[in-house]
């Protein structure tokens, strides 16, 4: 009766891998190890490259804040449960804007929001005529 190692694989026999490796030639082993070793090595190198040469978290936050442009009247305010329950607003022009946690109580339905691209200031014009200026720089970590 012939030996069939794949039959025992379902039973969780650990020697199956060793038997398969014994059946491979030296060249096949080198190819196999190269394929399975190069993926983790490539991921590690990519991660190290991003950590060493990539922008810092602070730089990414500053760039994101400066690139944001907001102009409209708040139509809807809700907590977005799938997105960690973050307070979100929908403007009447259908733009969606996430409110920073520290600003949640300062923005209500009917308020007008204005933020020019390249600026750190979000202007909130309240229904009562009052103007509040919120500064993104207060949210940037040191």
Mean pLDDT over 12-35 rounds to: 76
Tokens of 40: 């983790």
Q: Are strands 121-125 and 96-98 parallel, antiparallel or unpaired?
A: unpaired
pTM of the complete model: 0.65
Provide DSSP, 57-103. HHHHHHHHHHH--EEEEEEEEEEEGGGTTEEEEEETTS-EEEPPGGG
Answer whether residue 8 shows pLDDT above 80: no
Answer whether residue 36 shows pLDDT above 50: yes
Q: Residues 64-121: pLDDT tens digits?
A: 999 999 999 999 999 999 999 999 999 999 999 899 889 989 999 999 999 999 999 9
Tokens of 61: 């936050």
Under 8 Å between Cβ of 113 and 74 = yes
Residue 30's pLDDT is 86
Q: Which residues contact 55 (CB under 8 A, 6 or more apart)?
A: 63
What mean pLDDT, rounded, does the chain reach?
86
Under 8 Å between Cβ of 88 and 78 = yes
């Amino acid at each position: 009766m012939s030996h069939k190692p794949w039959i025992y694989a379902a039973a969780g026999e650990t020697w199956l891998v060793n038997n398969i490796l014994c059946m491979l030639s030296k060249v096949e082993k080198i190819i196999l190890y190269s394929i399975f070793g190069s993926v983790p090595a490539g991921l590690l190198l990519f991660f190290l490259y991003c950590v060493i040469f990539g922008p810092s978290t602070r730089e990414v936050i500053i760039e994101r804040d400066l690139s944001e442009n907001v102009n409209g009247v708040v139509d809807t305010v809700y907590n977005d449960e799938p997105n960690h329950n973050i307070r979100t607003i929908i403007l009447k022009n259908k733009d969606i804007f996430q409110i920073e946690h520290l600003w949640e109580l300062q923005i209500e339905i009917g308020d007008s929001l204005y933020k020019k691209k390249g600026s750190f200031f979000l202007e909130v014009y309240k229904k009562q005529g009052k103007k509040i200026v919120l500064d993104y720089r207060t949210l940037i970590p040191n």
